Structure 1
Amino acid sequence: MKDRITAMFIAFFLGSFGGQYFYLGKTGRGIACLLLFWTFIPSLIGLYHTIIWLMMSDEDFNNEYNQGRSPRMGYAYAPGASVSDELAKLFVLKEKGALTEQEYNTRKAQLLR
């Protein structure tokens, strides 16, 4: 997953050499910028990308550069909570009818990874 802020900083600091293109997986454009860095055109392109990505929302960036996928947010349980405690809580929810058997098994599998 490519991050908008990271791409923005790379474009600002390494845009003269096409760093943002290498980061985004556009190697051909990155090589072109490396070959033409002495013309200062890649510097202007890097500055342009910095400004555009500064104003762009994360959702728009993800749609354009991450095929619409959002960054992974991690697990739903609190850090430091033991897996056995979380499994016990899930079991209680299943017994109360708040979770179906399928939901219980799915969440249990996620916890045990």
Structure 2
Amino acid sequence: MSAEAGYSTTITINKGHSRTTAGLCALFLGGIGLHKFYLGKPIQGLFYVFFCWTFIPAFIALFEGIRYLMMSDAEFQSRLEQDKLDHIGGTFSVSGITPDTHVKCPDCRGFVPKEAKVCQHCNCKLVPQ
């Protein structure tokens, strides 16, 4: 069927990682670092593999899995994008980017100040929230 017949040919690709998948990978196969490979952290995953015989990675993964599953989806994605998923405690921002001062551009997902009218990364027009 052609696109002229009223069908859309748009394909949507989800670039995000699932909090539930990461949590379940950590709980069931976290001892060998599967959740780290899934989250795009192969170096950490290799450490889990190399030390899996000590069962220390399994204990760490158990707590990480529970923590991932207890987070909200928004917090999980935010921490993952800021590479702070492994940090325990409140949100800490060295660059001064916080949820109180910045929002994400809907097009490029870059952080821009809340009062900005145009994204500084992709120049798309922003709607005030």
Which interval holds the TM-score relative to the shorter structure? Answer: 0.5 to 0.7
RMSD: 1.7
CA distance in 2, matches of 1:44, 1:66: 25
% identical equivalent positions? 42
What is the count of residue pairs matched by the alignment? Answer: 69
Q: Judge conservation of contact 1:22–1:30 (CA < 8 Å) in 2.
A: yes
1:64 aligns to what? Answer: 79
- How far is the alpha carbon of 1:66 from its aligned partner? 3.9
1:26 aligns to what? Answer: 41
Q: Judge conservation of contact 1:17–1:42 (CA < 8 Å) in 2.
A: yes
Of structures 1 and 2, the one with the larger relative CO (CA 8 A, separation 6+) is: 1
1:60-112 residue CA offsets vs partner (Å, 9 max, x unmatched): 0010114597xxxxxxxxxxxxxxxxxxxxxxxxxxxxxxxxxxxxxxxxxxx
CA distance in 2, matches of 1:13, 1:54: 13
1:54 aligns to what? Answer: 69
If the length of structure 2 is used for normalisation, what is the TM-score?
0.50
CA distance in 1, matches of 2:65, 2:36: 12
- How far is the alpha carbon of 1:53 from its aligned partner? 1.0
Instruction: Give the letter aligned to residue 63 of structure 1.
Output: S
Q: Which has the larger Rg? A: 1
Task: Point out where structure 1 has 5 or more consecutive residues left out of the alignment.
Answer: 70-113
More strand by share: 2
Instruction: Give the letter aligned to residue 55 of structure 1.
Output: M
CA distance in 2, matches of 1:8, 1:66: 17
